[in-house]
Amino acid sequence: MQRYTFFLLGWIVALLALGCTQQEGLEQQNCVYYWRTELRLDSTERAFLRDHHIAKFYCRYFDVVLDDDGGEPHPNATIGFADSLPSGVELVPTVYITEECMHRHHEGLARKVVQRVVRMNATNSVRGVRELQIDCDYTDRSRSTFYQFLADVRRELSTLNAPIPILSATIRLHQLQMPAPPVDYGVLMLYNTGDPRRFEERNPVLDQRDVQPYARYLQPYPLPLAAAYPVYRWQRQVHGVRIEHTVEASEILAVKALVEQKRPGLRQAIVAYHLDEENINRYSHETYEAIYHH
């Protein structure tokens, strides 16, 4: 019995050590995504940043999409800056690039993306940027091209007059099965997890039954990971009928418990998607405290 207890304790210590190694370099912090076309914060949103001690603000700068004839990528839906962040909140420029853009290599694309981010920072007096995040729903078809794009982006970031040292990427559940991208860490997207065609059976925004099959990939995944949870409402028309999807707080917390059981380090850095007064008012202060609980 003593031998079994000793073995069990050793196994637990080994798992904890592996979890710490996987998450090494990832700070413990509360974060938000901001996914609108104008940076303007009202009093409710500023209070949220303050009350929940938000340290990092992932701000979508622009999308990269193919032009109408499917030829070359170009920027779309660029954000406008009508406001600035409170002191102490780090802004992380985030660029969404469509998977179609990665079906083939586009010469100079990484340089154009980085230069556009740098110009936007300068024009809008965004100082002290130390990270860029790239968001892409890459697949097996586009993965190698996307990973080369990331390598090119990192090279461009290192050659700036004020180099940006950190490169991160979003990681969707299905991407956990692939080799990790060449970035410093990933943000695991625990939203948009389901098939929108199965809306009568499951919530496509988040359902733990859609997360469960991928849980076994969490522990061995080699990148440090933050975890992002949905607090938004999705409205759409299906056969002329308006369908609205929101996620109950209990479901968010059940998924949080599931993934943190498989990989305890996922409680280290937590992101809410996304900051908006309506989203803030959808859940109680206590629910947000539970989501952000480390």
Q: What is the pLDDT of residues 121-132, one digit of tens each?
A: 999 999 999 999
By percentage, how much of the chain surpasses pLDDT 70?
Answer: 89
CATH of the domain at 121: 3.20.20.80
Q: Report yes or no on 87 lying in a domain.
A: yes
Residues 63-86, mean pLDDT to the nearest whole number: 94
Per-residue pLDDT, 197: 72
Band (pLDDT 50/70/90 cuts) for residue 267 is very high
Band (pLDDT 50/70/90 cuts) for residue 199 is low
Query: Does residue 257 have a pLDDT over 50?
Result: yes
Per-residue pLDDT, 243: 76
Pairing status of strand 241-245 against strand 234-238: antiparallel
Residues 235-240, mean pLDDT to the nearest whole number: 70
Band (pLDDT 50/70/90 cuts) for residue 17 is very low
Residue 78 backbone phi and psi in degrees, to 5: -70, 140
Q: How many other C-beta atoms lie within 10 A of the C-beta of residue 131?
A: 19
Per-residue pLDDT, 122: 98
- According to DSSP, residue 40 is labeled -
Q: Report yes or no on 7 lying in a domain.
A: no
Residues 31-46, mean pLDDT to the nearest whole number: 98
Per-residue pLDDT, 237: 66
Q: Report yes or no on 5 lying in a domain.
A: no
Quick: pLDDT tens for 152-169. Answer: 999 999 999 999 999 999
Look-up of token digits 């914060």: 41
CB 133 within 8 A of CB 95: yes
Q: Report yes or no on 174 lying in a domain.
A: yes
CB 101 within 8 A of CB 64: yes
Q: Report yes or no on 8 lying in a domain.
A: no
Query: Does residue 276 have a pLDDT over 70?
Result: yes
Cα 242 to Cα 10: distance, rounded to the nearest angstrom: 54
Look-up of token digits 């599931």: 258
Residues 182-202, mean pLDDT to the nearest whole number: 88
Q: Report yes or no on 20 lying in a domain.
A: no
Q: How many other C-beta atoms lie within 10 A of the C-beta of residue 12?
A: 10
Residues 93-104, mean pLDDT to the nearest whole number: 97
By percentage, how much of the chain surpasses pLDDT 90?
Answer: 82
Q: Which domain holds residue 97?
A: 29-291
Cα 75 to Cα 64: distance, rounded to the nearest angstrom: 5
Band (pLDDT 50/70/90 cuts) for residue 202 is confident
Of 150, 177, 166, 188, the closest CA to residue 265 belongs to 188
Residue 141, Cβ density class (10 Å: 0-12 exposed, 13-18 middle, ≥19 buried): exposed
12: region left, alpha or beta (phi > 0 left; psi from -120 to 50 alpha): alpha
Domain count, the chain: 1
Q: Report yes or no on 64 lying in a domain.
A: yes
Band (pLDDT 50/70/90 cuts) for residue 231 is very high
Residues 232-247, mean pLDDT to the nearest whole number: 78
Residue 245: how many CA atoms within 13 Å on its side-chain side? 23
pTM of the model: 0.91
Q: Report yes or no on 12 lying in a domain.
A: no
Per-residue pLDDT, 15: 41
Query: Does residue 270 have a pLDDT over 50?
Result: yes
